[in-house]
């Protein structure tokens, strides 16, 4: 029996959700334009621009379409809830049968992707809400009981997207961006609904088993979303429940399986195979027990091939036995391989790269034993084969040094254990195991030598971390998080020691950054005082933005009351007076007498801060016509002139702040343009300072560099260019850029990069960046010939924009391995098809 509180709870929740989605649509409309500017290809940029244009015209219609479709789906879902024993599809006749067109299949897949994105932040709240709605709707199970589940919202959102644009590419881009904001709106709706349920005193009902009315289907499947239940006992499904009321598909694999199939381009098991595997899993105990043993991980690999909850009764005991058998086999194989190959020992320093044996692929070598221990589940077999293929590529990756490849090889069975129990490993860049393996590989390629010095120390630390994983409870995700944190702390300590070796350079650059803060603060004070001064705008901007750099530098080097500092302050005063009208002969004579000294002081100050020649020419091109015009204009009133000089003296009296006073002021954003900016002053060094710091100035970027030099690739012959590979890996977050202007925001201490200097590519390692990310210090080579390279953020951004600075790895290790595995699988499939055709 339906609880009368259902409508009182559901109506305000729907209202909140529609309002939240309206705001999400507005945010998406404003964000699409910015994303179009940062697009990686013309096709993507055009699709984003089309989506922006269509959405801005149809914002209201899209919101109304979502609200209308959501209401219809909720009403249909509530009507479908029937008392136990009735047939929910009694009114369905033979006319409901029809063929499924390709467009419907694509729409179903897109809806599943949207559903998965909406579920990222709502899983915990969704499980709790299902318990409440079992009570509210008077049903016995949590299967499909919640009418606001992400699957329904995702389909309504997709229908709304189709109202925004007729262009399929624009629809895809629009859905991708809108899903991010929609997820936040759905989470807010769920949080509010949970609070309302608690306030109304709704009690959560225990989740019970639904008795099958026909043949046994896949356990725990949500008919809308394809997700397995993760609460209570496993839920069986009748034949009718596997049929979508919309007639789209009989059976849809869960998003984890879909992502797995898309990622590696493999065919998923058929519904009949899945049902047979489910029956076998009940017979033999069903694969693996649910969830991880700690760390709050999602329970995604439980009874049956599709996952679910921990089996109940005797089947649960058998499932636990199979799970223990798999874990015991993995530990036994890990122990035997470690003893046989001596992996637990650190790599001797005297061994060369060619003498280090390649690690074996344990998963492939013991595949039959692993399949037998898994209970024969179809999905388990697929995962075992995919992880084996993945490690074929990982262990043969040419960029990973043999010493690190051996340590990564020791993680084969722990990674397989994780992949079997948590399939988000395959498609989540945030997964701790994925991050740990990628970070290990990235650190290794940053060193020129791993048999001595810091490289050997890195290998020793990684060896110990891996030993603690393989000998510990590698079922727990928090163990990998912990070891990743230990590795990052080691990197921080190692880079800190390298900074100590270059303490003088770091102190010099930190001092330059402090001077930059001082100049920024002084610039703000001067600009505020000049705001309402009667003077040309370009002149006021020059005095505030550029000349303050000269005054700060002269004050720091010679003292604020030195003769040179006084001359620079007087030059600013005279510069403003030089553009005032001078129609009287005596005023013209005074001006012509003072002009040579004024120009000398201006050029001396601008040379001091190394102002670009082009910017200097542009400034004087505006100043000289103003001087010529001033000589013709009638002189100002004496009172006006006295008031002007009084204002200028007030500006001169502004004291330059100390470093302590300016310590908390924000620094300017780095600029990749050649226009004058506040970084020019801080980047000015004496020849002695520049030599000690390995200074790379902006002016030196294009010296001795021919256009053809940009085609030189440090990894030529080592790894093919991955940027042109037409493979869109369906991962949850975008990959960090390997090149381009945005790379400067993603660089990591301890990682390797490629830098083009004087026509040659050099592999460099980031060792230090200033607190405000204004200065960066890299090292190149190894002792005793190790060199220091330092530069400003603006210079680094300019190098990224012009292709002179790139990541050493074009993609992270597991992404590279996935791409190569897909190529291998595609080649095998093509070869098989050719043989069949022949």
pLDDT in tens, 639-680: 877 888 888 888 888 888 887 777 766 655 544 443 444 455
Asked whether the beta carbons of 117 and 181 are under 8 A apart, the reply is no
Which of these, 446, 471, 384, 459, lies nearest to 420 by C-alpha position?
384
Question: Using CA atoms, how far apart are residues 794 and 776, in angstroms rounded to an integer?
Answer: 10
| 514 shares a domain with 495 | no
Q: Is a pLDDT exceeding 80 seen at residue 151?
A: yes
- Residue 816's CB is within 10 A of a number of other CB atoms, namely 22
Res 423: pLDDT:
76
Are 24 and 64 within one domain?
A: yes
pLDDT digits (tens, 9 = 90+) for 466-510: 999 988 887 788 899 999 999 999 988 988 888 888 888 888 888
Residues 157, 178: contact at Cβ < 8 Å?
yes
- CA angle (49 as vertex; 43, 52 as ends), nearest 5: 140
Residue 659 lies in a domain: no
Whether 349 is covered by a domain: the verdict is yes
Q: What are the backbone angles phi and psi of residue 769, rounded to the nearest 5°?
A: -140, 145
Among the candidates 208, 243, 266, a domain finishes at: 208
Radius of gyration of the chain (CA): 34
- Which pair of structure tokens corresponds to residue 407? 């340590």
Give burial (CB, 10 Å; 0-12/13-18/19+) of 345: exposed
Beta strands 752-757; 787-792: pairing state: unpaired
User: Helices 168-199 and 123-137, interaxial angle, to 10°?
Assistant: 60
Q: Is 669 in a helix, a strand, or coil? A: coil
Are 188 and 108 contained in the same domain?
A: yes
pLDDT tens readout for residues 800-813: 988 899 998 888 88
472 and 511 fall within a common domain: no
Does residue 165 fall inside a structural domain? yes
Provide the pLDDT for residue 304.
33
Q: Where are the alpha helices (DSSP H) in 270-312?
A: 271-284
Which pLDDT value is given to residue 748? 84
Instruction: Choose the weakest-confidence range: 292-306, 357-371, 380-394, 460-474.
Output: 292-306
Q: How far is CA 513 from CA 555, 680, 701, 771, in A?
A: 16, 11, 22, 9
Sheet holding 805-807, edge to edge: 787-792, 775-780, 760-769, 752-757, 805-807
Q: What is the pLDDT of residue 65?
A: 86
Structure tokens at 608: 């001091």
Q: What is the pLDDT of residues 84-127, one digit of tens each?
A: 444 444 444 545 455 555 566 667 777 777 787 787 677 778 77
Domain match, 399 and 482 both: yes
For residues 383 and 458, state if they share a domain.
yes
Tell me whether residue 380 is in a domain.
Answer: yes
Do both 113 and 15 map to the same domain?
yes
In contact, 631 and 588? CB cutoff 8 Å: yes
**Count of other CB atoms within 10 angstroms of residue 805:** 25
Residues 332-360 pLDDT 10s: 887 776 655 544 444 444 444 445 666 78
Do residues 546 and 413 share a domain?
Answer: no
Residue 220 lies in a domain: no
For residues 390 and 330, membership in a common domain is answered with yes
Domain membership flag for residue 152: yes
User: Which stretch of 424-433, 602-611, 708-717, 789-798 has the lowest confidence by average pLDDT?
Assistant: 708-717
Measure Cα distances from 541 to 139, 598, 617 in Å: 72, 18, 16
- Using DSSP's 3-state secondary structure scheme, residue 450 falls into coil
Q: Classify residue 358: in a domain, yes or no.
A: yes
pTM of the model: 0.56
Is 531 inside a domain boundary?
A: yes
Q: Are residues 433 and 536 in the same domain?
A: no
The reply to whether 457 and 564 lie within a common domain is: no
Residue 494 shares a structural domain with residue 519: no
Tens digit of pLDDT for each residue in 699-756?
Answer: 777 664 444 444 444 443 344 444 444 455 667 677 788 888 888 888 888 888 999 9
* Pairwise CA distance, residues 779 & 108, whole Å: 51
In the prediction, which pLDDT does 337 show? 67
pLDDT, position 502: 83
Residue finishing a domain among 163, 189, 208: 208
Vertex 487: Cα angle to 484 and 492 (nearest 5): 125
Record the tokens describing residue 205, joined without a space. Answer: 């009902």
Final residue of a structural domain among 633, 652, 671:
652
768 forms bridges with which residues in the sheet?
A: 777
Q: Give the pLDDT score at 464.
A: 93
Domain with 194, as residue range(s), is 1-83+98-208
What's the confidence (pLDDT) of residue 689?
Answer: 80
C-alpha dihedral (47, 50, 52, 54), degrees to nearest 10: -140
Average pLDDT value for residue range 68-74: 87
Per-residue confidence band for 408, with pLDDT thresholds at 50, 70 and 90? very high
Instruction: Evaluate whether 34 touches 168 at the Cβ level (below 8 Å).
Output: no
Query: What is the predicted pLDDT for the residue at 425?
Result: 86
Determine the Cα–Cα distance for residues 192 and 160; give it in Å rounded to an integer: 24
Peptide bond into 784 cis (omega under 30): yes
Number of domains making up the chain: 4
């Amino acid at each position: 029996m339906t609880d009368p509180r259902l409508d009182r709870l559901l109506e305000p929740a729907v209202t909140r959700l529609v309002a939240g989605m309206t705001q999400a649509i507005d945010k998406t409309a404003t964000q699409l334009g910015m994303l179009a500017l940062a697009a990686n290809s013309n096709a993507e940029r055009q699709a984003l621009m089309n989506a922006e244009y269509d959405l801005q015209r149809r914002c209201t219609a899209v919101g109304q379409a979502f609200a209308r479709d959501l209401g219809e789906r909720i009403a249909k879902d509530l009507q479908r809830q029937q008392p136990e024993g009735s047939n929910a599809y009694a009114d369905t006749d033979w006319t409901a049968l029809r063929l499924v067109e390709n467009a419907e299949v694509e729409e179903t897949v897109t809806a599943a992707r949207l559903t998965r994105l909406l579920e990222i932040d709502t899983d915990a709240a969704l499980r709790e809400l299902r318990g409440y709605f079992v009570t509210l709707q008077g049903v016995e199970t949590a299967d499909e009981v919640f009418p606001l589940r992400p699957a329904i919202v995702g389909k309504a959102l997709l229908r709304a997207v189709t109202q925004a644009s007729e262009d399929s590419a624009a629809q895809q881009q629009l859905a991708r961006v809108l899903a991010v904001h929609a997820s936040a709106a759905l989470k807010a709706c769920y949080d509010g609904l949970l609070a309302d349920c608690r306030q109304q005193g709704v009690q959560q009902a225990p989740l019970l088993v639904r008795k099958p009315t026909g043949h046994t289907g896949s356990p725990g499947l949500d008919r809308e979303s394809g997700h397995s239940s993760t609460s209570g006992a496993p839920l069986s499904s009748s034949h009718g429940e596997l049929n979508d009321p919309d007639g789209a598909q009989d059976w849809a694999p869960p998003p984890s399986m879909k992502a797995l199939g898309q990622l590696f381009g493999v065919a998923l098991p058929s519904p009949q195979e899945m049902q047979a595997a489910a029956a076998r899993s009940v017979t033999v105990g069903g694969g693996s027990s649910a969830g991880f043993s700690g760390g709050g991980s999602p329970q995604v690999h439980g009874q049956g091939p599709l996952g679910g909850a921990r089996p109940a009764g005797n089947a649960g005991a058998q499932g636990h036995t199979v799970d223990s058998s798999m874990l015991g086999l993995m530990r036994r194989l890990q122990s035997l391989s470690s003893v046989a190959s001596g992996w637990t020992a650190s790599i001797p320093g005297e061994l060369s790269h060619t003498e280090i044996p390649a690690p074996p692929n344990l998963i492939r070598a013991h595949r039959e034993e692993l399949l037998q221990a898994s209970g024969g589940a179809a999905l388990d077999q697929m995962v075992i084969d995919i992880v084996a293929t993945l490690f074929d590529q990982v262990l043969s990756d040419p960029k990973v040094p043999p010493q690190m490849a051996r340590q990564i090889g020791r993680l084969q069975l722990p990674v397989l254990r994780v992949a079997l129990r948590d399939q988000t490993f395959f498609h989540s860049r945030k997964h701790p195991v994925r991050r740990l393996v990628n970070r290990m590989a990235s650190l290794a390629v940053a060193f020129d030598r791993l048999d001595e010095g810091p490289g050997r120390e890195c290998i020793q630390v990684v060896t110990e971390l891996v030993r603690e994983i393989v000998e510990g409870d590698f079922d727990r995700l928090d163990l990998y998080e912990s070891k990743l944190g230990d590795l990052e702390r080691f990197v921080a300590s190692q880079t800190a020691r390298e900074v100590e070796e270059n303490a003088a350079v770091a102190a010099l650059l930190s001092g330059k950054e402090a001077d930059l803060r001082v100049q920024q603060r002084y610039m703000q004070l001067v600009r505020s005082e000049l705001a309402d001064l009667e003077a040309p705008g370009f002149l006021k901007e020059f005095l505030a933005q550029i000349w303050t750099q000269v005054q700060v530098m002269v004050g720091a080097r010679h003292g604020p009351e030195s003769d040179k500092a006084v001359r620079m302050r007087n030059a600013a005063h005279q510069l403003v007076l030089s553009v005032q009208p001078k129609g009287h002969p005596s005023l013209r004579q005074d001006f012509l007498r003072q002009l040579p000294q004024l120009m000398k002081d201006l050029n001396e100050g601008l040379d001091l801060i190394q102002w670009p020649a082009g910017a200097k020419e542009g400034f004087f091109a505006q100043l000289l016509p103003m001087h010529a015009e001033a000589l013709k204009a009638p002189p100002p009133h004496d009172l006006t002139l006295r008031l002007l000089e009084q204002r200028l003296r007030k500006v001169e009296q502004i004291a330059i702040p100390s470093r302590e006073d300016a310590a908390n002021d924000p620094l300017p954003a780095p600029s990749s343009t050649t226009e004058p900016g506040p970084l020019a002053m801080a980047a000015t060094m004496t020849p002695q300072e520049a030599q000690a710091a390995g200074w790379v100035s902006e002016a030196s970027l294009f010296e001795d560099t021919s256009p053809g030099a940009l085609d030189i690739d440090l990894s030529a012959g080592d790894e093919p260019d991955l940027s042109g590979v037409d493979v869109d890996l369906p991962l949850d977050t975008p990959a960090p850029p390997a090149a381009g202007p945005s790379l400067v925001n993603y660089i990591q201490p301890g990682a390797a990069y490629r830098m083009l200097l004087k026509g040659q590519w050099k592999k460099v390692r980031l060792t230090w960046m200033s607190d405000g990310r204004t200065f960066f210090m890299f090292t190149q080579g190894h002792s005793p010939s190790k060199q220091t390279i330092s530069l400003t953020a603006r210079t680094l951004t300019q190098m990224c924009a012009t292709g002179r600075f790139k990541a050493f790895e074009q993609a992270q290790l597991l992404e590279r391995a996935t791409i190569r595995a897909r190529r291998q699988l595609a080649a095998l499939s093509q070869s098989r098809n050719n043989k069949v055709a022949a």
